[in-house]
Structure formats: C-alpha cells, structure tokens
Homo-oligomer: A and B are copies of this chain.
C-alpha cells in the first residue's frame, strides 16, 4: 500500500518557513550534577527546523523519532546531538531544540546544616546550522529580596518577598548549573532553603535585613559577576519580585550586547 506523501508535494507560494516542528512534548531527562551524580527529571521539549519554500510540509513524526532514538530517557549529551540529527533527518539548514525542566540541588541550612532539596527552573536552547551551533543556558533561581527603601524609612522591619532571578548565558566553555545558581543566590538578600529550623530562620531573617536589594541591585550584582566570569560571553539577567506590599511585581533586566560597545550608556 502506497500512501500519498502530502508533505513532500510542491508548494507554489514561494514562502520559506522560518521554523516548523513540535511543541509541548513531555520526556524524561537525566542530567549529571556538578558532583557528576545523575539526576532524573522531566523535560518539556520543542524541536523545529526551517522549511524551504518549495515543500508543502515538514514530516512531524521524524522529530519524535529523533527524540526517541536514544531510548526512553534523554541525557544532556544525547539532547545536545538532536539539532544536528534533525538537520540530517529532515534535510534542513537550521534546527532548533528547547528543553525546559526542573532541576534539584541539595543545600545545607545555614546554621543547623539540615539538608534539603531546592528546585530551580532550567532552559536549554540549541540552534544548529551547517557550520555552527549556538547554545544558550537559562536558569531561574528563587531568592529573598528585602527592600532597601522600606528598611531606610521604617523604624522597624522592612518588607521582603520571594523573587525570581532568570539568567541566560552564552559561554566559551561549559558552565555548571550550580555555578550559575550560586552566582545568583549570592547576589540576593538571602538564598532560599527548603528546610529551616528556628536557628536557621533567625539567621536568614537577619541576613536579609542586613543585605537589602532592589530588583535593580539584583540584576546589577548578577551582571557584575557575569562580566567577570571567564567563560560567559553574553548574558541576559532579569529579576522579578512578588512584592509583599502590592498585588503586582517589580521587574528589572540587563542584557549584555553580543559585541560590547564602550560608548553605550
């Protein structure tokens, strides 16, 4: 039985398509942490290629076959190879992969040392063309922020809240997620923890009070460290505070140009 291959038919609209593929695919993922221990998580996957103007459609099932070609759990090494496999399998000139997943890290509470897992958000974006690959790693790190203005003007207390810092980087050599997470956590009023006993809670409360930051301070603190990092060539850092005194959020962003312009203010 021969079934029509509608996708391979000629298209006459003379319109190439920038990206076409699949989105919202759930797939198990294994990733090694900085101590080289494997960690199991679940990724939401997008894959796309370009489509030349003369073809009516891409072959969607091939994306899924490439995704499954390494077994029923992806590794980061396998995932990184997917865009190049898409180039071959779909005869494309540009291929794109996104993996979004929760990532865990065990942290010791600051006084009692009680260990607890904290979850972070991670996004890998890989673009491949014939002769080059672009890899962007993004981490989202929840932190405590305490308002410098509220502290300065109030006789007691200071409003504080959970915030999220999102840092995207390009790099010359791979950077551990833990390094990016620590870079961010050390830029806030306090890191978060999943287990805090009373001596720990006293510690983080006082540490946050002693170290107030605006969202502006937070993105600048992260930007300074990213500027100094030997392997980071580009970054975009955002901070968003779920303000405890408002029902809206405060937000700031700095993006480092791909080529620095010393005259930029």
Assembled-state Cα–Cα distance A186/B61 (Å): 24
Assembled-state Cα–Cα distance A263/B116 (Å): 40
Nearest residue in B to A39 (C-beta to C-beta)?
Answer: B28
Secondary structure at the A interface, as helix, strand, loop or mixed, is mixed
A152 and B4 form a contact (CB under 8 A) = yes
Residues of chain B with a CB closer than 8 A to A248's CB: 22-26, 64, 194
Assembled-state Cα–Cα distance A211/B258 (Å): 45
Identify which of A26, A157, A215, A216 gathers the most chain B CB atoms within 10 Å of its CB: A157
Nearest residue in B to A192 (C-beta to C-beta)?
Answer: B247
Assembled-state Cα–Cα distance A203/B150 (Å): 10
| A117 interfacial by beta-carbon distance below 8 Å | yes
| A146 interfacial by beta-carbon distance below 8 Å | yes
Nearest residue in B to A247 (C-beta to C-beta)?
Answer: B142
Q: How far is the CB of A218 from chain B (nearest CB, A)?
A: 11
Identify which of A3, A4, A53, A190 gathers the most chain B CB atoms within 10 Å of its CB: A3
| A175 interfacial by beta-carbon distance below 8 Å | no
Number of copies of this kind of chain in the complex: 4
A198 and B146 form a contact (CB under 8 A) = no
List residues 148-170 of chain A with CB under 8 A from any CB of chain B: 148-150, 152-162
| A242 interfacial by beta-carbon distance below 8 Å | yes
List residues 32-57 of chain A with CB under 8 A from any CB of chain B: 39-42, 46, 48, 51-53, 56-57
| A17 interfacial by beta-carbon distance below 8 Å | yes
| A234 interfacial by beta-carbon distance below 8 Å | no
B24 and A104 form a contact (CB under 8 A) = no
Report the stretch among A5-13, A75-83, A84-92, A130-138 that lies at the interface. A5-13
27 residue pairs of the A-B complex, CB under 8 angstroms, read A1-B199, A3-B152, A13-B224, A15-B223, A16-B265, A17-B254, A19-B252, A20-B250, A21-B251, A23-B240, A24-B248, A24-B249, A28-B41, A48-B251, A61-B196, A61-B197, A64-B194, A65-B195, A68-B117, A156-B206, A159-B204, A159-B205, A160-B160, A160-B161, A161-B161, A193-B245, A194-B247
Known: A154-B205, A162-B242, A162-B246. 8 other contacts (CB 8 A): A19-B253, A25-B248, A68-B194, A150-B205, A153-B205, A156-B209, A208-B244, A244-B244
A-B interface, 5 closest residue pairs, ranked by CB to CB distance from nearest: A157-B209, A40-B40, A26-B119, A20-B252, A154-B205
